[in-house]
């Protein structure tokens, strides 16, 4: 094991123990030996991001060029730009990521969820749509695509995806009031009432808990 490998292992252990400042010093030591060590640059950027030092994190990430680390790099960059208020650059990171995650459901979900959480709903729909449900993440794909469609005001597609999600997990009772509310907002009164009746039959206690809130959406129509 090289000296750099030993130092990286030491820094990783310090991070696991919550000794952030000490781990940073070790990463600095690594970078003094090899200023292009991408493992040190990436981990120090993550630490800087968590410490709200977004510009510092971006400076560190700008020195990383390997394809192997582009997912982690772009995800952190997207979050940094978002926190700095540069939404255009943040969104452009997701455009790059969208073309890099094909065929890997775990990465697709991770990137799509991040895009949704940052409010880039169209990007999220595009990315999450790449998930191959035959392999994994069938419920997650439909649920988070539904939330993303709802975020852009496309209630018709949101309801469709919510419906697919509930078919994947029929015991996800929290979905019934969400879908019913969306139905009422989309003037689909009969469908909304049907969903709430199903919920009442399946879980009356939860129905009683949410019925008033859902009714407020129905009464607006």
Q: What DSSP line would sit under 4-67, residue for residue?
A: HHHHHHHHHHHHHTT-HHHHHHHHHHHHHH-TT-HHHHHHHHHHHHHTT-HHHHHHHHTT---G
CB-based contacts of 80, cutoff 8 Å, min separation 6: 49, 54, 55, 57, 58, 61
Cα torsion through 122, 124, 126, 129, rounded to 10: -140
| Phi, psi angles (nearest 5°) of residue 93 | -65, -40
Yes or no: say if 37 and 46 are a contact pair by the CB < 8 Å rule: no
| pLDDT for 218 | 85
Distance separating alpha carbons of residues 91 and 79, to the nearest angstrom: 10
| pLDDT for 1 | 46
CB-based contacts of 162, cutoff 8 Å, min separation 6: 142, 143, 146, 175, 178, 179, 182
Distance separating alpha carbons of residues 91 and 93, to the nearest angstrom: 5
What pTM does this model have?
Answer: 0.85
Six-digit token string for 151 = 């975020």
| pLDDT for 131 | 94
| pLDDT for 221 | 62
Q: Low-confidence residues of the chain, pLDDT below 70?
A: 1-2, 221
Q: What angle do CA 129, 130, 136 make, to 5 degrees?
A: 100
Yes or no: say if 191 and 204 are a contact pair by the CB < 8 Å rule: no
Yes or no: say if 167 and 146 are a contact pair by the CB < 8 Å rule: no
| pLDDT for 101 | 87
Cα torsion through 201, 206, 212, 215, rounded to 10: -50
Pick the closest to residue 49 from 74, 16, 89, 83 (CA basis). Answer: 83
């Amino acid at each position: 094991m090289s000296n750099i490998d030993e130092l990286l292992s030491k820094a990783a252990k310090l991070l696991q123990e919550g000794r952030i400042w000490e781990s940073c010093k070790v990463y600095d030591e690594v970078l003094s030996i090899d200023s292009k060590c991408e493992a040190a640059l990436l981990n120090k950027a993550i630490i800087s991001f968590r410490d709200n030092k977004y510009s510092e994190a971006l400076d560190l990430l700008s020195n990383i060029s390997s394809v192997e680390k582009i997912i982690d790099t772009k995800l952190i960059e997207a979050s940094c730009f978002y926190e700095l208020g540069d939404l255009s650059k943040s969104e452009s990171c997701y455009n790059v990521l969208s073309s890099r995650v094909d065929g890997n459901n775990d990465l697709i979900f991770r990137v799509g969820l991040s895009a949704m959480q940052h409010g880039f709903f169209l990007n999220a729909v595009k990315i999450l749509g790449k998930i191959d449900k035959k392999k994994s993440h069938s419920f997650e794909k439909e649920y988070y695509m539904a939330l993303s469609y709802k975020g852009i005001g496309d209630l018709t597609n949101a309801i469709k995806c919510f419906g697919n999600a509930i078919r994947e997990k029929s015991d996800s009772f929290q979905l019934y009031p969400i879908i019913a509310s969306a139905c009422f907002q989309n003037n689909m009164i009969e469908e909304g009432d049907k969903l709430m009746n199903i919920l009442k039959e399946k879980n009356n206690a939860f129905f009683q808990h949410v019925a008033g809130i859902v009714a407020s959406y129905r009464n607006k129509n």
